[in-house]
Amino acid sequence: MKTKKDEFALNYGSHGAEQELSAEEKRTLKRLAHKHTRRMDAWGWAFVICNTIFLLIFTIITLYPVINTVAYSFNDGLDAVRGGIYLWPRKFSLESYSKVLNIQGFVVGAKITVLRTLLGTFTSLIANALLAFVISRKRFLFRSSLSLFWVITMYVNGGMIPVMLLFKYLHLTGTFWVYIVPGMISAFNVMVLRTYMEDLPDELEESAQLDGAGYITIFIKIISPLCKPVYATIALFVAVWQWNSWFDAMLYNRMKSEYTTLQYELMKLLNSVMQQSGNANQGDTSSKQVTPVSVRSAATVVTMVPIICVYPFLQRYFVTGLTIGGVKG
Amino acid sequence: MANEADQNFNTEEAAVDTGINAEAEVYGNTAGNYGQGIAEKRNAYSDSAEYIEPQVENYAREAYEHKFSLTDQQIKDLSKKKISKGELKRQSVLLIISAIFVAYGVLFYYLPLAGWIMAFQNFKLKTGLLHSKFVGFDKFKFMFEFDMFSHALETSGSIFTAFKTWVNNVVFVRTIRNTLGMGILNLVTTFVMAIVFAILLNEVKNKLGKKLVQTISYLPHFLSWIIVCGIVHDSLSSTGIVNDLLRWFHIVDDSYNFFAHPLWFWPIVAFSNVWKETGWNAIIYLAAITAIDPSLYEAAEIDGAGRWGKIRYITLPGITPTIMILLVMNIGNIINAGFEVQYLLGNGLVQDVSQTIDIYVLKWGVGQNDYSLGTAAGIFKSVVAILLIVISNNVAKKMGQESLF
C-alpha cells in the first residue's frame, strides 16, 4: 500500500523543480504540506507548551523588574521602604519625582546628557560615514592600508592610564569635549558602514564622475541618500552609547560638577545603597545617608524612559545593522 | 480555499518582482539623471573642440576601468598599476580626508601606545615620559610576586599547592583569576542562552506573539549598566522579589543577603549579563536561522523529522558558522569581560572574587596615582587579549570553520 508520503515523493520527486509544476499540482503540493504541518503528535504538543512556558517566564523576568521600578517610583517614599510593592503603587505619590528634579546635579546632568547625545551622534555619524566612504572607494590608492590602520585600533589600545594622561596633556580633561572628540570614530561602526557602501553598485559613482562630480559631491548627493538606513543604525548605536556612558564623566570630569551626566548622577545615587549591602547586618543602613528607594526608582525611570520610548520604533534599523556588522564584518 | 492559497502564492511572487523593480528604478533614475546631464552638455558644447578631448579621455578611462572593476583580485591588480595623473588629481580629496583621519587615529589610538614605556619607568607627572627613571620589569615583578610562588614551592614541594597559595595571596594574580573566571562564565552563559532563545523563538508560529516577545527581549540592552545593576540589586535585596519568593516557598525564614557571600557573586554577574544581552545577541542567530533554505525543513519533514529532529539536524548545523565566528570574535573579550558590573555590585565582603584587572588599574593607577603600575596591568591585559584572539582564530581555522583573518 502506498502511503501519502510515498505518493508525494513519487509524484514530485525530491528535487522539487517547482517551476515546471502546473497550477493544479502546486495546489496539491500546498495541501499536502499543509496537512503535514497540521498533524501534530503528543511530543509536538508538549514542545509547544514547554516552549510557550519558557518564553513566558523569559518575558516576565525581563519585564517585571522594570515595571516594579516604575511602581516604586510612583509610591509614597516612606511607605515604599516597607517593601511589598509589585506591579502597582500602594500609596500613589509624585513626590519622588519632584525630589529628583530638585537635585541640582540631576538637572545639569540631564542637560549635558542631551547635549552630548545630540552633538556626539551628529559629529560621530559624519566622521564615521566620511571615513567609511573613503575606505570603500575601490580605486583609492591607499584603500587597504587605511582600512588596516583602523582595524588595528579595534584590537590594540593603549589602556586606561595612558589614554587618561593623554587627555590631560591635551587639556581635554575637565571640558565638555572629552565626551565628543575622543570617541568620535569607532572602527566597528566604520566597518559596518563600509560593508553597506561597498554593496552599492559601482555604476553610480562612475556615471557621476562622467558628469564631472568630485568625490565630495558623490558622497553628499549619491552615496549618502542611499545609505539612510545604515546611517540610522549607526546613529542609534552611537546615541545609546552616549546616553548610557558614565565612566568618562567619573574619570575625567569628577571635579567639574557643571559637566556631570545623568548616568553618573544616577550612579552616585544607587552606589550609596549598593555599597551598604556589604555590611553583614542589614539593619546598619541608618548609619549613612541613603537615598530612599522611591527616589532611586524615580531617578532610574527618568533616565530610562527616553530610550524605552524610542527603541521599539527603530527595530528594523538595528537588526540590519547587527546583521551586517556581525556576519559580514 | 486552495485557489486562495494559489493566489497568495502568486501575489508573493509579484511582490518580490515589484520590490526588485522599485530598487532598479531608484538606481536607474540616479544614473538616468546623469545620463541626461551628459546629453545636455553635449548639446551645449557641441561646437567647441575643447569638449571632445576630455570626453574621449573619460570614455577611454571608463572602458579601461570597467574592465577591471569586476573582481576583487582584478581591483588589486589595478591598484598596483600606475594610476593616471587625472585620477591622482581627483583622488587628492580622498587623500586629504584620509590624512586628517590618520592624524586623528595616531593622536587618539596610536599615541597612547607610546605610553606603554611608563610601565618600565617609575613615572612621575613632574618629570614626564622623557625624564622619568627606568626601572625595567620592577612593576611587573611587584604585580606578580614570583618570589612568593618560588618560596611556596620550596616549602611545600608541590606545584599545585604553591600555585594555590600564590593565587590566594597575590592580589593581581587573584584579579586575573576573577577576570578570566567571570569572562568565561559570562561568555558561556550568554552564548548558550542567546542560541536557545533564538531557536525557541523561531519555533513560535504566532507572528504577533513572536514580535512582542522579541521587542521585549531587546529592552534591557538599551538600559545602562547602572540601571541594570540597580535593578539586580533591588531584586536581590531584603525587600526584593527574590527574597519574597524564597520566604513564600519557605526556603528561607529570614531574608538572605546575596551580596555578602562570595560564592554568589560570579553567578549574579553572569545572570546580569544574560538578563541584559540575551535578546540582543539572539538577533544575529535569528537572522542566520531565517537564511536557512526552507526546502531543507520540508525535506526533513517528509523524512519524518519532528520538531527536535529539525532543530538538531537542520537549524543547529545551519547556524554553526555564525556561532563559530561570533565565538572567535568574543573569546578575545574574555579578558575585557566586566568592569562596570563588578565595580557597581562589588563591595568589601566579596572583593576577593569581584575585583577584575580594570578595577585593579583604576584602584592603583587612578586612586593611588601609580601610573606605571596601572599601565603595566593594562599592557598585560592587551597582550592576553591579542593572544586569545590569535589562538581562537587559528583553532577555528584548523577546525575548518570561518575565521576572522
Q: Tens digits of per-residue pLDDT, A23-35?
A: 777 777 777 666 5
Top pLDDT among B278 and B331 is at B278
Number of C-beta neighbours around residue B21 at 10 A: 11
Scanning the structure block, which residue is given the C-alpha cell 548610557? A244
Spatial CA neighbour of A164 closest among B380, B369, B175, B338? B369
As a whole number of angstroms, the distance between CA B11 and CA B5 comes to 10
Q: CA quadruple A65, A67, A70, A74: dihedral positive or negative?
A: negative
Dihedral of the alpha carbons of B384, B385, B391, B395, in degrees to the nearest 10? 140
Question: Looking at residues B68-76, what average pLDDT do you find?
Answer: 56
Percent of chain B with pLDDT over 90: 33
Q: What is the DSSP letter of B364?
A: I
Question: Looking at residues B5-28, what average pLDDT do you find?
Answer: 43
Report the DSSP pairing between strands B121-122 and B133-134.
antiparallel
Digit-coded pLDDT (tens) for B280-305 = 999 989 988 988 998 999 898 888 88
Spatial CA neighbour of A180 closest among A112, A111, A108? A112
Using a CB-CB cut-off of 8 Å, the residues of chain B touching A59 are 213, 216-217
Digit-coded pLDDT (tens) for B28-56 = 444 444 444 444 444 444 444 444 445 55
As a whole number of angstroms, the distance between CA A257 and CA A249 comes to 10
pLDDT number for residue B274: 95
What architecture (CATH level 2) is domain A98-328?
A: Orthogonal Bundle (1.10)
Spatial CA neighbour of A149 closest among A120, A105, A187? A187
Element (H, E) at B262: helix B262-290
Spatial CA neighbour of B382 closest among A158, A149, A247, A182? A158
As a whole number of angstroms, the distance between CA B364 and CA A159 comes to 14
Question: Looking at residues A41-64, what average pLDDT do you find?
Answer: 90
B403 vs A: CB within 8 A: no
Nearest CA-CA distance, residue B260 and chain A, Å: 6
- Select from B87, B201, B234 the Cβ nearest to the Cβ of A55: B201
| Long-range interactions of B139-148: CB distance < 8 A, separation 24+ | B139/B372, B139/B373, B139/B376, B140/B376, B140/B380, B142/B373, B143/B170, B143/B172, B143/B373, B143/B376, B143/B377, B143/B380, B144/B170, B144/B172, B144/B173, B145/B169, B145/B170, B145/B172, B145/B173
Digit-coded pLDDT (tens) for A238-290 = 999 999 999 999 999 988 889 999 999 999 888 877 766 655 444 444 444 56
Cell reading at A312: 521599539
What is the C-alpha end-to-end distance of chain B, expressed in Å? 53
Are B285 and B195 a contacting pair, CB within 8 Å? yes
- Select from B93, B116, B345 the Cβ nearest to the Cβ of A274: B345
As a whole number of angstroms, the distance between CA B42 and CA A251 comes to 62
pLDDT number for residue B4: 44
How high is the mean pLDDT of chain B?
Answer: 80
Helix (H, G, I), strand (E, B) or coil at B134: strand
Question: Looking at residues A65-71, what average pLDDT do you find?
Answer: 93
Spatial CA neighbour of B38 closest among B66, B61, B59, B63? B59
Top pLDDT among B153 and A264 is at A264
pLDDT band (50, 70, 90) for residue A67: very high
CATH classification of B170-398 is 1.10.3720.10, yes or no? Answer: yes
Q: Do B226 and A266 touch (CB under 8 A)?
A: yes
pLDDT number for residue A290: 62
Ranges of each domain in chain A? 21-60, 98-328
Question: Looking at residues B128-153, what average pLDDT do you find?
Answer: 85
Q: Do A26 and B9 touch (CB under 8 A)?
A: yes
Q: Do A273 and B233 touch (CB under 8 A)?
A: yes
Percent of chain A with pLDDT over 70: 84
Digit-coded pLDDT (tens) for A73-100 = 999 888 888 878 888 998 898 988 998 8
Spatial CA neighbour of A131 closest among A118, A147, A117? A147
Backbone phi and psi for residue B368, each to the nearest 5 degrees, phi listed first: -100, 0
pLDDT number for residue B25: 42
Q: Do B325 and A327 touch (CB under 8 A)?
A: yes
Are B323 and B195 a contacting pair, CB within 8 Å? yes
Dihedral of the alpha carbons of B343, B346, B348, B349, in degrees to the nearest 10? -160
Digit-coded pLDDT (tens) for B175-218 = 999 999 999 999 999 999 999 999 999 989 889 999 999 999 98
Spatial CA neighbour of A269 closest among A247, A292, A240? A292
B238 vs A: CB within 8 A: yes
As a whole number of angstroms, the distance between CA A124 and CA A237 comes to 11
Digit-coded pLDDT (tens) for B230-254 = 999 989 988 888 988 998 888 888 8
This complex has an ipTM of 0.83
Q: Do A82 and B382 touch (CB under 8 A)?
A: no
pLDDT band (50, 70, 90) for residue B17: very low
- Radius of gyration of chain A from its Cα atoms, rounded to whole angstroms: 28
pLDDT band (50, 70, 90) for residue B219: very high
B198 vs A: CB within 8 A: no
Ranges of each domain in chain B? 2-84, 85-136, 170-398
Percent of chain A with pLDDT over 90: 43
pLDDT number for residue B178: 92
- Select from A52, A165, A226 the Cβ nearest to the Cβ of B115: A165
Give B 240-259 residues with CB within 8 A of chain A: 240-241, 244, 255, 257, 259
Q: Is the pLDDT of residue B19 over 80?
A: no
pLDDT band (50, 70, 90) for residue B74: low
Q: Do A162 and B378 touch (CB under 8 A)?
A: yes
pLDDT number for residue A170: 93
- Select from B94, B197, B234 the Cβ nearest to the Cβ of A140: B94
Establish, for the pair of chains A and B, how many residue pairs have beta carbons separated by less than 8 Å.
322
Q: Do A83 and B386 touch (CB under 8 A)?
A: no
pLDDT number for residue B277: 92
pLDDT number for residue A320: 75
Q: Is the pLDDT of residue A132 over 50?
A: yes
Are B285 and A326 a contacting pair, CB within 8 Å? no
pLDDT number for residue B63: 55
pLDDT number for residue B145: 83
pLDDT band (50, 70, 90) for residue A193: very high
Top pLDDT among B3 and B390 is at B390
Q: Is the pLDDT of residue A153 over 70?
A: yes
pLDDT number for residue B324: 85
Question: Looking at residues B55-62, what average pLDDT do you find?
Answer: 57
Buried b (16+ CB within 10 A) or exposed e, B161-181: ebeebbeeebebbbbbebbbb
State how far Cα A95 lies from the chain centre.
Answer: 32
CA–CA distances in Å: residue B76 to residues A323, B143, B145: 27, 48, 51
Cell reading at A135: 575606505
Q: Highest mean pLDDT range out of A3-12, A27-36, A59-68, A133-142?
A: A59-68
Q: Do B79 and A251 touch (CB under 8 A)?
A: no
Q: Is the pLDDT of residue B57 over 60?
A: no
Top pLDDT among B17 and B372 is at B372
Q: Do B90 and A214 touch (CB under 8 A)?
A: yes
Residues 6+ apart with CB under 8 A from B339: B356, B358, B359
As a whole number of angstroms, the distance between CA B267 and CA B385 comes to 23
